[in-house]
Structure 1
Amino acid sequence: MQKVIDNFKDLCKIPHCSYETEQMKEFLVNYSKDKNFIVNIDKAGNIHAIKGNPKLCLQSHYDMVCMGNAPKVDVYEENGYLKAKNSSLGADNGIGIAIMMSAMNQFENLECLFTNNEEVGLMGVNSLEHTIKSGMLLNLDHESDNEIMIGCAGGVDIEATLHYENIKSKGKIYELQAQNFKGGHSGINIINNEKSSIKEMAKFIKQNHGKIIFFEGGERVNSIPKHAKALVCFENEVKSNEWIKCEFKSEKEFEICNQSDKLLDTINSFSHGVRAYDKNLGIVQTSINLATLKMQNNKIEFGLFARSNTLDGLKTIEFETLEFFKTFGYQSKSFNFYPPWEGKPNALSDLVLKALKKVSPEAKISAIHAGLECGIIEKKQKLLCASIGPNIYNPHSTDEHCEIASIEKISKVVFEVLENLN
């Protein structure tokens, strides 16, 4: 198991933010060739490596969500967890890659698929050109070691824009900074009802009768907003609270956004978070993340990401969100739509469950409120698919950490399944 940890630490030395994955791609191609795998790369940067006559394909994505100081990832171990100093860790999906590297060093009959740019709308797998030779595919991108995923949410990106002009005004100018927000994965962590920096900032400005000069927030479309900042005019003095830090700048004439009130009303009226819950599976069924806000070139831009584990739920929340912004006068559009994976138990999930129960007796088959690439691959190539992974907490944030003992569990399961199939 220590070799898996060492592999992961080596991966952390290589920059691999989404859209900036060339160095990681080169590393994985060379590693695969060194282990005598036949390697092919498609136009999207997906790497297909195969050796012998395999019955199982292992799959992980090699890009990461970069938060804080990332792509500089300074890994350390503390109280049984892998963590990173002031950055996201990239255990999502670096641990999966590290396990695959160990398997490539051990098994003569193995197929591996390393996919690119998963964290930005599953771009790599949506453009996948490789054909999987094995009849089964095990995805290593889950984040709870007592579950086997055979279903996942579909998703859709939504963008809304509104043009504005600047008008002159007078008042007390304050710089506002969001503080103490946790952020997190917009699918997995949405159930925790973590506060949104964008929503809290807008509420603070509205309740104190402020007028916006500048306002931006959020990091990634699939991360709950952690950071936000604004330059705002207030008639009266305002004071910092738990969530918003206020710093007085000056009192003078300046230009405010003529759509300030509409912008605040839009944010404060929008229902960010969980929209529906599946009691049978015990997971969120439908949600939406008000992810990013930008003001540039006299244009307000919102970025949102909707998820649902049912096709009807996804289409409904897409329609309702587009209509919401149109009602407020925005131009809105949706893109990168991919349907949910509504899978069923199969021969692979049964095999994995048998192995997983040896290390996690409470293990179960379930579905996840997040996107999994195997859901897309399964539809395209009619494979038997399942997904497992170690305990990863607060992915897509600077608080991301991964349980070391859990990595050992999942590694054992993967190797046992491969040994049984070989």
Structure 2
Amino acid sequence: MQKVMQYFKQICKIPHGSFETDELKEFLVARAKALNFDVLVDEAGNIYASKGNPKICLQSHYDMVMVGEAPNLVLEEKDGFLSAKNSTLGADNGIGVAISLVMMEEFENIEVIFTNNEEVGLWGAARFEYKTKSKRLLNLDSEEDFRVSIGCAGSVDMYASSKVEKTVAKGVVYELKVEGFPGGHSGTEIDKNIPCATKFLAKFIKENGGKIAFFDGGERRNSIAANAHATVVFDKELSEIPSFVKADFKGVKECEIYKNSDEVLNMLCIFAQGVRAWNKELGIPEDSVNLSTVKEKDGALEVLFFARSMSKDGLENTKFETKTLAESFGFKIRNENQTTPWKPVANEFSHAVLENLRKYSPDAHFAAVHAGLECGVFIGLDDELLATSIGPNIFSPHSVKERVELASVEKITNAVRSLLKDMKC
């Protein structure tokens, strides 16, 4: 594990937020070549490295979600966990990358895929240009060391937009901020009822009869909003301000406001954040929607809703419901980056993975996850491929509270090494 953590700490020193990954790409390519792998890089920045007669393909993504002070990562180790001060850590999926690099040092007959820009809609995997030589793919992007993932949710980005038109209003002007909410992963943590900063701010403005002059909420498509701020005009000074709202009084004056301020607030308040349906068989959400971001962009106010479902029908129903809601308040909607759910099915390869993981995590079992995994994309590209996913315990990814359990990293490293030995790699 020591070697894995050395690699991971090297990765942490290199900025690698989504769409800002070139420097880490160069590092990974150079390292693979130094280990005598044949290396190819496609137009999307995916790295494919092969050596010998591959029996298995290890796969992980090398971009990270940047929240807080990232990419300036200051690592902190405490009580058996590694985190980063006031920022995401990037253990999702830098630990998977580090484990792959160690296995590339130790084995002669493996292939590795490092995908680019996974955190923005499995972007890189969908554009992967090569075919693996082996037909067994082990993804290292799961986040519980007792879980062998054999299925995942599909997802879709739903952009609701309305042209920004303003009118002048006179009143009491405030700059409002909601900051430091917990945030979290919009898939694996959507059932934890983590508060959405955007909805809390919209509700406060609505309850006090405010009109929006400017609104900005949320950080990332796949993160629960931790921060939101707005410029708002009220009829009178605010008398009661809850502790979670920071209010900066700007005076009594004229201010341009959105003509559709009421419609914007109504849509944000009525929208049902979180789990929409529960899958009793799998013990995870069946359908969910996250209010990801609210941004002014190219002369429009754009609201991004990010939906996930374990079924294609569920995804289509959520798209219909969200479209109906948005259009009711004068917004136009478009859908992007739709991925197909990966139906849970165990096979001989997943059983081999489970057997080896149980050597180090005795309670390990098959599961599906209400989040996106690139396995489904790769199976879509090659229907002969057998795919499975494992990974160490990572808590609160996509938030400043992200941390990885070091003992768990050792379990997963040992399980991967044991699997590769069994497969005579």
After TM superposition, the score normalised by the length of structure 1 is 0.98
**Does 2:382 match 1:396?**
no
In 1: Cα distance, 2:139 partner to 2:153 partner: 15
Moved more, 406-415 or 238-247: 238-247
> Which amino acid letter does the alignment assign opposite residue 139 of structure 2?
N
Partner of 1:196: 196
Partner of 2:357: 356
Q: Give the Å deviation of 1:298.
A: 4.4
> Which amino acid letter does the alignment assign opposite residue 413 of structure 1?
A
In 2: Cα distance, 1:66 partner to 1:365 partner: 30
> Which amino acid letter does the alignment assign opposite residue 407 of structure 2?
A
8 A contact 2:263–2:330 mirrored in 1: no
Q: Give the Å deviation of 1:297.
A: 5.3
Cα deviation, 1:381-421, whole Å, max 9, x if unaligned, reads 12111000000011011111000010000000000000100
Partner of 2:74: 74
8 A contact 1:3–1:102 mirrored in 2: yes
Moved more, 367-376 or 242-251: 242-251
Q: Give the Å deviation of 1:237.
A: 2.4
Secondary structure of 1:341's counterpart equals coil
Partner of 1:336: 337
Q: Give the Å deviation of 1:70.
A: 1.1
Partner of 1:322: 323
Cα deviation, 1:236-260, whole Å, max 9, x if unaligned, reads 2224313222121211122221111
Note the residue ranges of structure 2 that are not aligned, 5 or more in a row.
none
In 2: Cα distance, 1:350 partner to 1:242 partner: 51
Within-5 A mapping of 1:383-422: 383-422=385-424
In 1: Cα distance, 2:329 partner to 2:101 partner: 51
Q: Give the Å deviation of 1:295.
A: 2.6
Cα deviation, 1:312-371, whole Å, max 9, x if unaligned, reads 111111122122211211111111111100031111111111111122211110100001
8 A contact 1:183–1:225 mirrored in 2: yes
Note the residue ranges of structure 1 that are not aligned, 5 or more in a row.
none
Give the length in aligned residue pairs. 422
In 1: Cα distance, 2:208 partner to 2:101 partner: 55
**Does 2:400 match 1:366?**
no
8 A contact 2:138–2:389 mirrored in 1: yes
Q: Give the Å deviation of 1:88.
A: 0.6
In 2: Cα distance, 1:128 partner to 1:99 partner: 21
Moved more, 368-377 or 321-330: 321-330
> Which amino acid letter does the alignment assign opposite residue 370 of structure 2?
H
> Which amino acid letter does the alignment assign opposite residue 52 of structure 2?
G
Q: Give the Å deviation of 1:300.
A: 1.3
After TM superposition, the score normalised by the length of structure 2 is 0.97
The share of aligned pairs that are identical, in percent, is 50
Q: Give the Å deviation of 1:311.
A: 1.0
**Does 2:287 match 1:299?**
no
Cα deviation, 1:6-26, whole Å, max 9, x if unaligned, reads 110000011111001111111
> Which amino acid letter does the alignment assign opposite residue 265 of structure 1?
N
In 2: Cα distance, 1:167 partner to 1:284 partner: 42
Partner of 1:263: 264
Partner of 1:161: 161
**Does 2:10 match 1:10?**
yes
In 2: Cα distance, 1:72 partner to 1:222 partner: 21
